[in-house]
Amino acid sequence: MCLLSLPIGSPSENLHDEGLPMRTVRFPVFLLAVCLITALPAQPQDVLTPVVVSPLVPSTVAVLGTDGKQHLVYELVITNAGTATATLETIEVVGADDPAKVLAKFEGGALIARLRDAGRGPAITAPQIGFSGTRLFLVDFTLDKDSRVPATLLHRFHLLAAGPPGSPPDQAVAQTYTIAPIAVGTDVTVLGPPVAGKGWTAFNGCCEAGGVHRGTGLAVNGQVHYAQRFAIDWIQLGADLRIFQGNEKDVKSYPCYGAKVIAVADGTVVETLSTLDEQVPGQLPDPKTMTLENVDGNHVVLDLGHNKYAFYAHLQKHSVLVKKGEHVKRGQELGLLGNTGNSSAPHLHFHLMDGTSVLGSSGLPYVIDSFAVAGELSGEVDGKWSKDFSAHPSERKSEFPLDLTVVNF
């Protein structure tokens, strides 16, 4: 606010000599030309960014994994709008409140391994993007358990890209700019377990970019979706640490076949399917036989409220016990674990998502409220998994089971 001194009365009154003293008062006046300019923060300078970047989804959530670290998982859409071929050299993740502090850094092989074509093309082997080309970049990094997570993340790109106006159209010059904000929320859903018992292993779990689920983005309903971002294939190993005992081609040789699948929370059934036949284990079915309608096999989708939906896939034929519109309670049996749809062995595929479409939604992180970690698997030799088990399983509260973690529910 600015103060201005003005005389009381009209100009003519103040100019006449009538023996009266001229009085002045001070009162506030908004001087837009000066005061507002002084009060407003300086606007950042515009920057030419021939490579444009945006997050695939507007926000992400840090989730505590069984390794004791906070995991952040999301995707960036990168498009080269410049005429010269662009080369991505380094991508750094920083907090908007402290951009000088680098939270994660990707370069070399680690950068290339996280690049994907917009479609289902061959593996990316180089960091170059041609004119009008688009890449998806799969972000995954961790912070210590007690680290403060910024409310907004930014991404600093070091790259070669088209120069300013007037530059040769095919000439790329070194550039650095910080762009692509993504909000980080704190709303992590707490669920119960989807199965019961000991020795359940999280196969194809989070969070490496090369994982079957994490690395799969599908173009559905006009958008690219990573519905399986946090999906897990739950398989129960036998006492000999094998996923089957006897004939590999017989579903009954698998210890987890027929296990009860249960509700992870109270909810409402919004979709079911229970009429598909079991697949023969040992290999995936012929891709020509797979459609959007049968790829997930017999399944159940639960509406948990607040735009969160639980998805259970590959259930046994005619085993689903609930119907659309039915209200279920946490722990209630929904069906039996099977081997239907796009499956090579009996298992329960489970993930949480933000919509009813099992493929056309965004996968959400979650934690399981209570379980014990028995150990983790480290590799498979001749069908038998090597182990790193503790004699005393570690009790856990509100954590997300990571890939190859063996848990007791």
pLDDT in tens, 251-270: 999 999 999 999 999 999 99
pLDDT in tens, 212-224: 999 999 999 999 9
pTM of the model: 0.87
Token duo for residue 286? 């012929």
Banded pLDDT at 118 (limits 50, 70, 90): confident
- Does residue 16 have a pLDDT over 60? no
CA-based end-to-end distance of the chain: 64
Q: What's the pLDDT score for residue 356?
A: 96
Q: How many Å apart are CA 282 and CA 245, to the nearest integer?
A: 13
CA-closest candidate to residue 137, choices 76, 58, 204? 76
Q: How many Å apart are CA 72 and CA 62, to the nearest integer?
A: 5
Strand-strand pairing, 172-185 and 59-61: parallel
For tokens 């005619």, the residue is 318
Q: What's the pLDDT score for residue 166?
A: 87
Banded pLDDT at 392 (limits 50, 70, 90): confident
pLDDT in tens, 365-379: 999 999 999 988 876
Q: Cβ(76)–Cβ(140) under 8 Å?
A: no
As a whole number, mean pLDDT of residues 189-199 equals 97
pLDDT in tens, 37-94: 455 556 678 889 999 999 999 999 999 999 999 999 999 999 999 999 999 999 999 9
Average pLDDT, the chain: 89
- Does residue 168 have a pLDDT over 70? yes
Q: How many Å apart are CA 345 and CA 347, to the nearest integer?
A: 6
- Per-residue CA distances from 298 to 196, 344, 361 (Å): 20, 15, 19
